[in-house]
Amino acid sequence: MKKPFRLVAATAACTVVAASGCSSASDEDGVTIQWWTWDDKQAVSWEQCVPAFEEANPGVQVEISQYAWDDYWTKLTAGFVAGNAPDTFMDHMNNYPEYTSQGQLLPLDDYIEQTGYDIDQIAVGIDTWTYTDGSLYGIPKDWATVAFYYNADMLADAGLTVDDVMNMTWNPEDGGTFEDVIARLTVDENGVRGDEPGFDAENVAVYGINSLGSGGVNGQDTWANFASTTGWTLGDEENWPTTLQYSDPRYVATAEYLRGLAERGLTPEDGEFTLGQVEQLGSGSAAIVQSGSWNATSFFGTEGLNVGIAPSVIGPEGERRGLSNSNADSIWAGTEHPDEAFAWISYMNSPECQDVAGADGTFFPSISSSMEVTSEALSAQGIDVSPFTDQFEAGTLFESPAFGRGEEVGAAVGPLSEAYFLFERDADVFEEMDELSREILAQ
């Protein structure tokens, strides 16, 4: 590929500078680069980077659009078909393999090499966003994982300490101290706790923790952080697996344990609440909620809720584990302005931009130095995110494997997983889920 543009780091923003033979629009013509996202909070955060980028790139404007999750993917697919998709967009690991196989995404390696963009500054997601052809199809922009948000007042009322929730152990046989904690926090309608004689599991007023069942393909905010502590992995390969491994005895034991919690009244049954995770904790329906880092500001912004964050459980092998996925910025292969498009996404994923966008705490930046800015900004708001960042720094986070036909896999195995946690199917369903995954992944 010819080198029509380079990025200049001398200004606060990456600058597009024309070289000979350039076929892109001139400053006089003007260029508008579209960037789409499904995340309403991140749309506001990244908008803060636009003025500096446009100032450094006269004639180039950025237009940000946000659509709700389901509409987002429908509109994006329609844009691919119609030939009017956005130049750049926030991409998800479940979808990018299919888009890449269809030729809808621009490989970024040549642009990275020619512009001197420092891809090594990106601390997460590079392996996941590297396709089977060895090329990178998105610059990882963020990372996220889950932890336990707890009601500190309920904790104190139960006679428990912060240390009790900060150091919970777990195993699929007796539940470890994790079960001790959630049983103590569970209260029936007569005021009897889950670890006391006479507890009525059929009439629960406050659950110790929210539902830990179902969770789709990877169980990010339900069972993943439990099952992974046993040594189990979702796929038979780190990326591009040939099968998913739900029938592995370690996963089966985890699923049976977590479903049993609902049977004993310590968690709600899957689907029992229509309330979201933040609302479950805020309303007092649950004393602990396992939820994502992306919800931290929402939990702490809930009026009247005295909330804290505790890390995931310490499993039978003596380690915590946390599923972490990274969204990325991709370029549509049909863009008429690939150089300007790369200039924009590379600026988004620079310290200059991530320091600004990440300061409001709506996401965790992919650049470590910017993550420090985010942590400090959240700390100033009284939000200690060390339960998330400590695992990041300790290397105990892991990424879900990349594989093609993600929507098909989800549509096939998701309902079966849900049926299991709704007590409509037994453990024989896991062999069926594995077989379906093998058939789809082999296509």
270-310, pLDDT tens digit by residue?
989 989 999 999 999 999 999 999 999 999 999 999 999 99
- The model's pTM: 0.90
Kindly report the CATH number that applies to the domain delimited by 146-323+405-441.
Answer: 3.40.190.10
CA dihedral defined by 269, 326, 74, 246, rounded to 10 degrees? -40
pLDDT given for residue 177 in this prediction: 99
Which H/E stretch holds residue 148? strand 146-151
- Residue 117 has, within 13 A of its CA and on its CB side, a CA count of 29
Residue type, 351: P
> 251 is written with which tokens?
């996963």
pLDDT digits (tens, 9 = 90+) for 126-142: 999 999 999 999 999 99
pLDDT digits (tens, 9 = 90+) for 71-126: 999 999 999 999 999 999 999 999 999 999 999 999 999 999 999 999 999 999 99
| Residues in Cβ contact with 415 at an 8 Å cutoff, skipping those fewer than 6 apart | none
> Average pLDDT in the 178-205 region?
99
CA dihedral defined by 362, 366, 367, 371, rounded to 10 degrees? 30
> Average pLDDT in the 39-49 region?
96
Q: Do domains 5-143+327-380 and 146-323+405-441 have the same CATH topology?
A: yes
Burial readout 43-77 (b: 16 or more C-beta within 10 A, e: otherwise): bebbeebbebbbebbeebebebebbeeeebeebbb
pLDDT given for residue 28 in this prediction: 53
pLDDT given for residue 303 in this prediction: 96
Instruction: Please report, for the chain, the start and end positions of each structural domain, with discontinuous segments joined by +.
Output: 5-143+327-380, 146-323+405-441
What's the CA gap between 89 and 331, in Å, rounded?
7
Residue 361 has pLDDT above 90, yes or no: no
pLDDT confidence bin for 170, thresholds 50/70/90: very high
Domain 5-143+327-380 has CATH 3.40.190.10: yes
